[in-house]
Amino acid sequence: MISVLVVDDHELVRTGICRMLEDHDEIEVIGQAESGEEAIQLARQLEPNVVLLDVNMPGIGGVETTRRLLQSVPNTHVLAVSGLAEEPYPSLLLKAGAKGYITKGAPLTEMVRAIKKVMQGGKYFSADIAEQLASSYLSDTQQSPFNALSEREMQVALMVVNCISAQEIADKLFVSVKTVNTYRYRIFEKLNVDSDVKLTHLAIRYGLIKP
């Protein structure tokens, strides 16, 4: 039996995934979480085999959640399930330790196949995700300016464009506000923007957030 923790900030999505998986005898949903912070806490208690994780959530977000989950519960496997198929999300999740990445439009049969695959220690990516990853590794140019950011800079950038204050970011990442602002200025410099508004417009343009 494969134990699964479902993490998504939308209750309807969580409930839908749980109900779909109920019909599979080999899979048992043992918990639900609506944020990365809650997911980490539940994972420590329940020790699921697989965590189905939304990527773009309020709070620390999917990338940092993946990193902390694997630090806290090293025997679990993270499978990203997201409506965001564009780079750099797949690459960032892969670097953070996720074993797979499928889109929310994937059929149930593919989700089950992905769960079993990562549980066995393998990796699984939806066809469109795999194609993007292959293209990004083979390409000599960076299609998105956000690819120039480090993982931490990307994390801070996503929090900024989701209107999280510097103090809140500092609290969530366990750093000082001064450090957050240093990251922020580095992000501005790398992306050639000079305000949070322009950063947000750029994030929308390259599909990191929805308008």
- The DSSP code sequence of 45-62 is HH--SEEEE-SS-STTHH
pLDDT on residue 7: 95
How large is the average pLDDT for residues 130-157? 71
pLDDT in tens, 184-197: 999 999 999 999 89
Least reliable range by pLDDT among 29-38, 112-121, 161-170, 175-184: 161-170
Range 2-138 has CATH code 3.40.50.2300: yes
Task: Indicate if 145-205 has the same CATH topology as 2-138.
Answer: no
CA angle 129, 8, 96 (to 5 degrees): 50
Enumerate the domain spans of the chain: 2-138, 145-205
pLDDT on residue 138: 42
pLDDT on residue 40: 94
Q: What are the backbone dihedrals phi and psi of residue 123, each rounded to the nearest 5 degrees, phi first? A: -125, 150
Three-class secondary structure of residue 82 per DSSP: strand
**What's the pTM value of the predicted model, to 2 decimals?**
0.73
The fold adopted by the segment(s) 145-205 is Arc Repressor Mutant, subunit A (1.10.10)
pLDDT in tens, 103-129: 888 889 999 999 999 999 898 988 777
Q: Distance of CA 10 to CAs 58, 82, 85, 105, Å? A: 11, 12, 18, 15
Rounded CA gap, 101 and 124, in Å?
A: 7
Rounded CA gap, 120 and 117, in Å?
A: 5
How many residues would you count in the chain? 211
